[in-house]
Structure 1
């Protein structure tokens, strides 16, 4: 099955004159925005200025020679290969990075990162908002979207976008995957009207939507026709909240939370675009969307806050600080199961809804992570998580 990696392997030496920039190129540039470029730096480079990525990669390879790459949630094998392919051909050899920001604050429960990529030969500029990292703090901030009109990263995104659009001449593409896509649309909504004119398009790649009040705002309506929403068939993150722009459903080679990775999305090499799925969203995605709507429709902001504070704070205090902590051992499974079981202590008339929502959320995420490799008897699920929906 063809992916953006396949596309790049075939077209890394094809000029933009022979093959015009398309949504696969935009997704590729967005995807490398997940790389922590501070790890590539030496004293030769300064992230405050413009950096030609070919020189950065060349320097990194010399230092990395004969050393094994230490992969993590952001520095994945697929992203390194994507980066290598980009800079080993003529198409992206002149790609530059500028205005790189990476601001993570546990105190304020904020994870914010953004940057600008440039292709000087065609005066192309793409501002990328990075999505969530592997930290539970980052994921907790994501779920604040369901009960907070503005999270800390939103304010940072507006300030950043305002500064960059004032600095750059238009047009500029704005993009983001996961929470990054939400930040892209939110910030584009709240910059001044004269700056919105510089925005050529906004791409949301499997990203949470917006609160109803934001969708109804004059700022959003001014950019609505510029918003492109792309998500996989089994979207989990992308079905949070609402978006009233047209949604393009993409085929994926994976399932569950694995479909959130854009390197698993299928590409149509004949048309140089992402491959539309033959069918609509899966039952899992539809059920999760209904669950999110129940949360936001039937629970108050305080109840939602209590729900996610209980879930994430209990997970974090149990010793699980990142997704990478979900290792293949019974002890980790018991920690997570006990954390979810803490919902029993919630004293609320909405307890049944909370428990059913927790069950669906738990099975959706845990069922498609490394925990899925366990045999069922080895994973000590709380009793309520094993009940059917009719219970």
Structure 2
């Protein structure tokens, strides 16, 4: 069973011999999780680009993988990429990395200049910071979120600096931002976009799909999800999607390193699993049962409880977990009675809905 590391190691065809595909996009989207601060020039530098070999050969490579999940796999992917006949001529530019706790924004993007004379604009997905996850949850009641607006501004700015054709993509929230930015960017920029890749990114509120921008680019969107997708099925969807086989289970299938490759493409299956359909229907029904104000109250309350631990990332939370647990309990006590009652009632409603859907599925299976 091969994954994107094996693909980068083994693919020998250049883009002139074999066209850019969805696996190439996932490789670039995964590498967008690396921290290129001080290595790749930012948007203000209009002339400088960095060859991928120079990135792979920096003196202190650990800085690339700070707070990146699965450092070993990411390191293997970077070196395979830098030494691949397909990718070795890639140059990186226009790196942006922004964390704003006040605005509840986590945004990062990098542009790859490819040997087929096109550029791939890659948006980073959610990192290990709590503010990044909070921004994801804000999608349930806010549109647009700050990183979506940053994505539009970034795409327009990059398009002003280069004149080639554009491919846009990302994994997880990065896929969502890729689609949103392609919908909302200037029309002159849209005309240069050839492909939009969304790898297991959450959907949108309904009004996005009714916009002229979406109708303009929808046929260029390529969405891929693992067979037990949860993240990629959140919110509303109208895009067509392909289902990729993963060697992991449930939420762990969100990991791009678990997606299986067959020769030079993903190993596809016909549909997502029945359990995933059940889970996604349950979550979307639950979210739909709450108005925007209640969604915001629920998300903000949970976030404030986590903030009381003084942890900023999931890695922080794992350290001195007993002290963090006491902080959570203390924060729960500080919540007013009405809000605490709402919080527990909302969580309870999710479990009730889940049990109801389980009974419906069992009844359906018996009928079949």
> Shared fold (TM-score greater than 0.5)?
yes
1:281 aligns with: 273
How many angstroms does 1:221 deviate by? 0.9
**CA offsets per residue over residues 150-196 of structure 1, 9 Å max, x none?**
11112111111112223332421100111111111111111222221
Contact 2:31/2:74 (<8 A) preserved: yes
* Greater CA drift, 69-78 or 105-114: 69-78
**CA offsets per residue over residues 371-391 of structure 1, 9 Å max, x none?**
xxxxxxxxxxxxxxx9x988x
**1-structure distance, mates of 2:161, 2:65:** 36
Aligned counterpart in structure 2 of residue 102 of structure 1, from 75, 97, 104: 97
**CA offsets per residue over residues 328-358 of structure 1, 9 Å max, x none?**
9873795698589979853677964433437
* Greater CA drift, 348-357 or 334-343: 334-343
How many angstroms does 1:214 deviate by? 0.8
- 1:335–1:133: structure 2 CA closer, same or farther, 3 Å change rule? farther
Query: What secondary structure is seen at the aligned counterpart in 1 of 2:102?
Result: coil
Answering whether residue 13 of structure 2 is matched by residue 6 of structure 1, we say: no
1:26 aligns with: 25
Contact 2:34/2:64 (<8 A) preserved: no
1:50 aligns with: 49
- 1:147–1:132: structure 2 CA closer, same or farther, 3 Å change rule? same
2:304 aligns with: 313
2:204 aligns with: 210
Answering whether residue 129 of structure 2 is matched by residue 140 of structure 1, we say: no
2:118 aligns with: 124
Answering whether residue 294 of structure 2 is matched by residue 300 of structure 1, we say: no
Query: What secondary structure is seen at the aligned counterpart in 1 of 2:252?
Result: helix
Note the 1:171-320 alignment, pairs <5 A: 171-269=165-263, 272-277=264-269, 279-283=271-275, 285-320=276-311
Aligned counterpart in structure 2 of residue 346 of structure 1, from 332, 339, 351: 339
* Greater CA drift, 70-79 or 312-321: 70-79
**CA offsets per residue over residues 48-106 of structure 1, 9 Å max, x none?**
33111212322x1x556xx9997632572111110001112322111101111111111
2:79 aligns with: 84
1:36 aligns with: 35
**1-structure distance, mates of 2:313, 2:353:** 21
**2-structure distance, mates of 1:34, 1:350:** 33
**1-structure distance, mates of 2:51, 2:324:** 44
Query: What secondary structure is seen at the aligned counterpart in 1 of 2:231?
Result: coil
**2-structure distance, mates of 1:76, 1:100:** 20
- 1:16–1:100: structure 2 CA closer, same or farther, 3 Å change rule? same
- 1:193–1:279: structure 2 CA closer, same or farther, 3 Å change rule? closer
**1-structure distance, mates of 2:19, 2:323:** 48
**2-structure distance, mates of 1:57, 1:140:** 32
Contact 1:2/1:266 (<8 A) preserved: yes
**2-structure distance, mates of 1:337, 1:249:** 38
2:365 aligns with: none
The normalised TM-score by structure 2 is 0.85
2:350 aligns with: 357
**2-structure distance, mates of 1:90, 1:347:** 57
